Amino acid sequence: MFPYSEASWSVVDGAMFIGWGTSLPGITTVLAMIACVVVLVIGQRSESAKAKTFDK
């Protein structure tokens, strides 16, 4: 996954993160977005259910 053709730091002159030049950054960005939304959905459901137990 080293983003340069030669596995040497001496050739690194720009982006150096894992997946640079591939679709990995885009995929992880979209997955991170989805994860945030899913957490909110789960959080809303569990908090609503718990709050209902306090209804008189």
Partner 1 sequence: MEDQIAELVAKVAALEAAGSGAGAKVTNTMFAETYYYLTIPLMIIIHAGFLAYEMGASRLKNVLSSGVKNILAFAFMIPTFYFFGWWVYFGFPTGIPGAAGPMGISGVEYANSIAWGWGESAQYMGPNIADNISGVFFGAFALFACTTASIMSGAVIERIQTVGFIILAVVLGSFAWVVAAAWGWHADGWMVTKWGVHDFGAAGLVHAVAGFFALGVLINLGPRIGKFNADGSANHIPGHNMPLTVVGLMLIIVGFWGFLMACVVPPGEAWSWFPDKFATIYGTPITLGSLSFNILMGVAGGIIGTWLFTRDPFWMMSGALAGIISTASGLDIYFPAHAFLIAMSAGLILKPCADWLERRGIDDAVGAVTVHGTIGLYGVVMLGIWGAGYPSLAIDNAPTVSLMGQIGGAVVFFLLGFVPGYVVSYILKMFGMLRIREGAELAGMDLVKVPAAGYPEWGTDAPVTPAE
- Interface with partner 1 by CB under 8 A: which residues? 12-17, 20, 23, 25-26, 28-30, 32-33, 36, 40, 43-44, 47-48, 50-52, 54-56
Beta carbon of residue 41, minimum distance to partner 1 (angstroms, whole number): 8
Residue 8 vs 52, nearer CB to partner 1: 52
Q: Sign of torsion, CA 36 15 2 23? A: positive
Q: What's the rounded Cα separation, in Å, for the pair 47 and 39? A: 12
Beta carbon of residue 10, minimum distance to partner 1 (angstroms, whole number): 11
- CA proximity to 47, closest of 36, 39, 35: 39
